[in-house]
Amino acid sequence: VRAARLLLRSAAAELCDQPVLIVTQTANHASLRVAERLGFAVVDTFEQWGAEQTLAAAQLHTFRAGDWR
Q: What is the mean pLDDT of residues 33-47?
A: 97
What integer best gives the mean pLDDT of the chain?
94
**For 46, phi and psi rounded to 5 degrees?**
-155, 160
User: Does the structure show a pLDDT above 80 at 30?
Assistant: yes
User: Does the structure show a pLDDT above 70 at 8?
Assistant: yes
End-to-end alpha carbon distance in the chain: 14
